[in-house]
Structure 1
Amino acid sequence: MSRTHIIVPGLNGSGDGDWQHHWMADHEHSELVEQSDWSNPHAGRWLARLERAVIAHPGAIIVGHSLGAILIARLASSSVAPLVGGALLVVPADIERTSTIHARTYEFGTLPTDALPFPALVIASRNDDYMSQEKARSLTSAWGATFLGFGDNGHINIASGFGRWTGGYDLAQQIEAKADRRLRHDIGKGLVENVYQI
């Protein structure tokens, strides 16, 4: 099955050299969720944009970075959650710590803790300024996701040496495989009647 990849950047969006843009160039079936104001993240407005992308691409794998990963986790309580194939959550950002680092408050609510109804993999570094690895582990457990420690690689951005990140493609394939197995299981059990087109 060939699934669309929905790319969800975090605060300040994704520059031309960021791995998110390389991902778009390297994957024909991919779409970046554009926000109207990247420097002022607003939970409700950002989530509405993401939900529209999910509706347009049912069964997609969502790849989020930083606050984008937190945004994806908010889909747990969204009506579009059943349409999500799976998610790769790359160094989720602690909202309070992000506000402290940038010396301002963002309207992004609190960290979501509801279990995700789709397969998800959380990537976390030991030396990420935006979230401790311990907190990332705790959130991963709450979300019912799989945790992958990623060494001392900072915030997995250009500043920490990540331009084109081909290793992320392999991780997304792992999520796709889990999504495919889940779909086949649900079809076999008669749990889905109208299967979305992939």
Structure 2
Amino acid sequence: MTRHLLVPGRGRPRPEHWLRRWADTHPEARWAPRPPGPPYVVDERMAALHAAISADDEPAVLIAHSAGCISVAVWAARHTGPVRAALMVTPPYLGPETPRSDEFAYDMPRDRLPFRTIVVASRTDPYTTYPQFEQYAEDWGAELFDAGDVGHLDTSSGYGPWPDGERLVETLTS
């Protein structure tokens, strides 16, 4: 059996958000961490993710959205553990030219991830261009899934249910 750990972005997903719906319809899935809402503090989120991964020897599939992808990339750069795969959904672009804030104080780790990864890319994401998604996929050694014109794949972009996401998770667990 494979654990599903849900890694939220910087905000608290609304009840209709696909990640929240996943949590509600998959009782075996666990938040890592439970959606705390802003502010997003990388070290706190990464520590909570590490605790969730380390809590069990059973392999985990990480299902991350937006800033949750930062948590996963930072965790993978600093730790090892029983992670089978990751679905990285619309990671925000963080590069040398990105304005810095307390929440995003450094660049996104770009090392190859030590587990199978799928990066979900949007053609119309307000935080990341399609070529930036392609670069993340290349750097992380990930497969790239072109989701089309889906904005940030969040509630404001019209995503409650997201059947493609469930199918992608199934490919990571088979």
Specify if TM > 0.5.
Answer: yes
Q: Which residue of 2 aligns with 1:33?
A: 32
Partner of 1:54: 53
- Aligned counterparts of 2:162 and 2:35: Cα–Cα separation in 1: 26
Instruction: Provide the TM-score with structure 2 as the length reference.
Output: 0.90
Q: Which has the larger share of strand?
A: 2
Offset from partner CA, 1:70-95 (integer Å, 9 cap, x none): 2112222233x341111000000124
One-letter code aligned to 2:106? G
In structure 1, runs of 5+ residues without a counterpart are 178-198
Change (3 A) 1:36 1:4: closer
Query: 1:106 aligned to 92, 100, 103, which one?
Result: 103
* 1:21 Cα deviation after fit: 1.1
Shift of 1:110: 1.2
Sequence identity percentage: 27
Cα distance change, pair 36–167 in 1 and its aligned pair in 2 (3 A): closer
**Amino acid in structure 1 at the alignment position of 2:23:** M
State the alpha-carbon separation in 1 of the partners of residues 136 and 34 from structure 2.
25
Give matches, 1:112-191, under 5 Å: 112-177=109-174
- Aligned partners of 1:174 and 1:44: how far apart in 2? 30
Aligned length: 172
Alpha-carbon RMSD: 2.1
Equivalent residues of 2:13, 2:35 under 8 A apart = no
SS in 1 for 2:62: strand
Counterpart Cα distance in 1 of 2:160 and 2:43: 30
Distance 1:87 1:118 in 2: 7
Gaps of 5+ in 2: none
CA distance in 1, matches of 2:117, 2:49: 16
The runs of 4+ residues in structure 1 deviating greater than 3 Å are: none
Query: Paired residue for 2:64?
Result: 64
1:137-164 alpha-carbon deviations (Å, 9 max, x no partner): 1011010111111111000011111102
